[in-house]
Amino acid sequence: MSDITAPSTELASLAAEFDAADELAALRARFVLDDAVYLDGNSLGALPASVPGRLADVVHREWGEMRIRSWDESGWWTAPERIGDRIAPLVGAAPGQIVVGDSTSVNVFKAVVAAVRMADEGSGSGDGRRDEILVDATTFPTDGYLAESAARMTGRTLRPVTPAEVPAALGDRTAAVLLNHVDYRSGRLHDLPALTAAVHEAGAYAVWDLCHSAGALPVDLDEHGVDLAVGCTYKYLNGGPGSPAYLYVRRDLQPRFDSPLPGWTSHAAPFAMDPAYQPAAGAPRGRVGTPDILSMLALEAALDVWGGGGDGGSAGAGVTIESVRAKSLALTDFFLRCVSAYVPEGRVESITPVAHAERGSQIALRCDDAGDVMKRLIHQGVIGDFRHPDVLRFGFTPLYVTFADTERAARVLGETLGEMG
């Protein structure tokens, strides 16, 4: 980083030009926002303006007046698959392959155990058994905990490796590989197409965690032959705190998907109350228990900001995931430019890759006293977050973050660090 070389008026004017040319600018009005610069959408997305009214209707009319009839008449029962089909275009999946429900953690467990069980079908027992699970060593801790539990449950060995080490670590012992598309701490985007191909070449199954990519950049699950994927909906999909996660099972694998959590709503005849379990066909076999209707329908309303869905990469009328990605890269490029101009030399170091092909939708800056710095930024209306021990994390949600927000965040950061010495 260098000393401040560009006056704020120059970069502020440039931000205004970028905002005037932004084809997504009108989407900001679809969210409930204030004067703060909100750069923490990679932890909790902003509230879409359509959600409060929809929830009020669900509570007062569907629950309050219709009561039990709403399972059928209001479509509560089919919500997990219906909303899954709304998410599908955002991750490059055809309809019928995503079911919404449970948490990301629960879905990670389902997916990893199911992947190992599918690997068992082709390997038999004895020396030819695929007895190892690879997990991203840099993953969010919960993924590691769940992978370790899945390994114990299935009698496998868990082997943590970095994504870069995966190709060399793969072999005929590998049953499944659990990877993150975007690293939660650094914002590094991993090569999903190449890593998935390498996993398949080794005869194993790929499970991807999309929490920090879905809704911010193209994923193209179908195109790249991903086996299983999971993701949350409260970050770039703006579903609200604790909103239900989703599970993707590639269509040709659905008949073989053997969930370790067979619940009554994933039964082929759920209301028959048969003591013997018979899994439903298709994506519904990823369900477990009764859907969390209030959170689920809040998520459905939140997805209205994208439009009505669409084919391929379309995220809805006038909004494509490609245009969202283009703005994300422009915002993060501009933020790095502003940081370079405003922040005193040597005070921060970006740990997010510069290359677009390796960058998610956040910028992570290593900084001394990062926890205290972030508290000061938040007090001044620039909201990011802190990751132990020394990382300032700024998430850019292209649907509502502006270039003016971006310039202001970098300027306040520079001023704050200058005052702290």
Residue 335 designated active-site: no
Three-state DSSP at 142 gives: helix
Q: Is the pLDDT of residue 8 over 90?
A: no
Residue 277 designated active-site: no
User: Which residue, 133, 137, 136, is CA-closest to 156?
Assistant: 133
- The single residue of 18, 109, 184, 234 carrying the catalytic annotation is 234
Q: 142 with 273, same domain?
A: yes
Give a yes or no: residue 55 inside a domain.
Answer: no
Per-residue pLDDT, averaged over 315-340, amounts to 90
Q: 289 with 212, same domain?
A: yes
Instruction: Give the chain's domain count.
Output: 2
Q: Is the pLDDT of residue 309 over 70?
A: no
* Cβ neighbours for 240, distance < 8 A, ≥ 6 positions apart: 45, 47, 51, 234, 295, 298, 299, 302
- The single residue of 188, 235, 285, 325 carrying the catalytic annotation is 235
* Interval 173-216: pLDDT, tens: 999 999 999 999 999 999 999 999 999 999 999 999 999 999 99
* Interval 141-181: pLDDT, tens: 999 999 999 999 999 999 999 999 999 999 999 999 999 99
Under 8 Å between Cβ of 287 and 266: yes
Residue 110 designated active-site: no
- The single residue of 393, 396, 400, 408 carrying the catalytic annotation is 393
- The single residue of 18, 31, 109, 140 carrying the catalytic annotation is 140
Q: Is the pLDDT of residue 221 over 80?
A: yes
Q: pLDDT at position 153, please?
A: 96
Q: Residue 372 sits in a domain of what CATH number? A: 3.90.1150.10
Give a yes or no: residue 314 inside a domain.
Answer: no
Residue 184 designated active-site: no
- The single residue of 22, 40, 85, 209 carrying the catalytic annotation is 209
Residue 147 identity: A
Q: Which domain holds residue 280?
A: 77-306
Among candidate residues 246, 273, 306, the one where a domain is terminated: 306
Under 8 Å between Cβ of 393 and 362: yes
Among candidate residues 306, 338, 364, the one where a domain is terminated: 306
Q: Is the peptide bond before 389 cis (omega within 30 degrees of 0)?
A: yes
The rounded distance, in Å, linking the Cα atoms of 418 and 410 is 12
Q: Residue 194 sits in a domain of what CATH number? A: 3.40.640.10
What b-and-e string marks burial along 299-319, b requiring 16 or more CB atoms within 10 Å of the CB? bbbbbbbbbebbeebbbbeeb
Residue 18 designated active-site: no
